[in-house]
Structure 1
Amino acid sequence: MHTVLLRLSAPMQSWGTTSQWEERATTVRPTKSGVIGIVANALGYQLDGDLSALVPLQFAVRADRPGRTAVDHQTAGGGHPAPATRIPSAYGA
């Protein structure tokens, strides 16, 4: 059996579990779907690619320093009027 070890270390991580409308739940440990997404991206899968080859992967988590959940009140646009929400590009538009 081949094994890949990923050390996921960052001050804030969000591992989504369920979402409904504006509410998005998270957990303190990585989810299989989140890790599969990271692996698929590293392997060059397209966003709408067929992930069936990755589904059978076995998954385990060891949390040396379990996280804690926090409430995040981010909003798209930050409450600015529509023209101010445009994201600048390399072309200045």
Structure 2
Amino acid sequence: MMITKQTVADQIVAYLHHEVTLPQLVDWAENAMMDGEFAERDATTISSVIARLGVADVRTFGLAWEDCEELLGKLGFAPRVEVVSA
């Protein structure tokens, strides 16, 4: 499976929307590092972001909002927050 910047951004967004858990995101990242084919043009950026996601379950690293914002920025995306009534 070809992994693009959009693929990685979609995974981060799914995490931020609580569609996947942190362990699921980390598992995806670990599998992507082992089995994925990165879009050649962006391979360096993609692999560095995925590598960071792969260690997000380690207490020292974690994955805060700011981290997601930074990682999305590296991929060429910017998060936007929308607040709605519950």
TM-score range, shorter chain: under 0.3
Q: Which has the higher contact order (CA 8 A, sep 6+)?
A: 2
Tell me the TM-score normalized by structure 2: 0.25
> Per residue, is there more strand in 1 or in 2?
1
CA radius of gyration, larger in: 1
**TM-score between both structures, scaled by the size of structure 1:** 0.24
Greater share of helix: 2
